[in-house]
Amino acid sequence: MNKQDWIASAGQPLHGTLDIPGDKSVSHRAVMFAALADGVSKIDGFLEGEDTRATAAIFSRLGVRIETPSASQRIVHGVGIDGLQATSEPLDCGNAGTGMRLLAGLLAAQRFDSALIGDASLSKRPMRRITGPLAKMGARIDTGEGGLPPLRIHGGQALHGIDYTLEVASAQVKSALLLAGLYAEGETIVREPHPTRDYTERMLAAFGVDIEFSPGFARLRGGQRLRAADIAVPADFSSAAFFLVAASIVPGSQLRLRAVGLNPRRTGLLTALRMMGADIREENRREHGGEAVADLVVSHAPLHGIEVPQALVPDMIDEFPALFVAAACADGPTVVRGAAELRVKESDRLAAMANGLRALGLRVDETADGATIFPGPLQGGSIDSHGDHRIAMAFAVAAQRAGGEVRVGDIANVATSFPDFDTLATGAGFALRNG
């Protein structure tokens, strides 16, 4: 993928009604579970991003017929829990950590061998947190040096259920174990030190699986079959986060974001922004496919720095780049603790955000598991996004308050989660162009 840059600068007040693309986490799971189900499932609102398309392409390679009648729609002809077919070629997850980690749990239970590969960024992300607990269930998975991808998965293993407490709260690890648990003998129980998003549990239930779950706990028995279901994917809160922050910090702005998913394990940023003084209203609250959604109306408001409650951290781990930008434009410092997980995302997000804000003239004091952001006037400058889509979009937002042009480098991976971000942003009033 060729490197690309954006040139961003302070634009005009942001206005409009925006349709944010579908939730990436829900889209991944919808196509996976539909593939394993008995019958035909329809998915509306599927994210047309590179990550989710990579997951759909993998299931096509595994013998699942997937139709695309129109953009953001998929019709998945499920092959049943035991119907996946072997392929001799490695399965390319692209940049999708969710795809690779969930697939590791699923493929560990198949009768055939398989291999999972990814792009340069994904190939630096740790996989022992997945392979370790899966090995306790009887799986055999070889990793690259240092526990990194590629993953080579040995099929034909007899899996058994376990009662496992995660060392680090992670919805991806939990989901991998639950998927393996569908094939395991006995019960699989996953306990978490902090509750994480429960998309997997909710969607397995929607596909007819008898699963017991509550915050920080999930249990299912092996040997169950999935029934086809129609899924409406809500708008992705993590993508909406950039516009929530942008409208909050750009004077004179007001945006309406339609049908945004408000899973309670996903919306820590909403709580944090409101603690900072943000003006964000929920209207037309309803349900899409078992997930709460609402229109979010956000207006400019003066923000003040806070100490982010550590209890919120697991519920906003993907939104910290956006939070850092809000903190940069607030009155008084913002303190983040308990966010060491940010160092093993698509990039070391703590270091990338701290260095980027310093490049724009701010003081940021880093710690091992967080940072203190001292706000001030943002200057122009050059930012390295390290190929991380959320870092790139965060600095496109920050530039709307900068005193000069901001060059955001290496932005091609924005297409993994938010295709056409730049088109939607400029339509709302961002000053943003390709560099």
Q: Which of 23, 51, 236, 318 is catalytic?
A: 318
Indicate the Cα dihedral angle 217, 221, 224, 228, nearest 10°.
-10
Q: In the structure encoding, which two tokens stand for residue 230, read together?
A: 């129609």
CB atoms within 10 A of CB 251: 10
Question: For residues 258 and 235, is the Cβ–Cβ distance under 8 A?
Answer: yes
- Per the annotation, the verdict on 318 as an active-site residue is yes
Q: Are 23 and 234 in contact (CB under 8 A)?
A: yes
Q: Which residues are catalytic?
A: 318
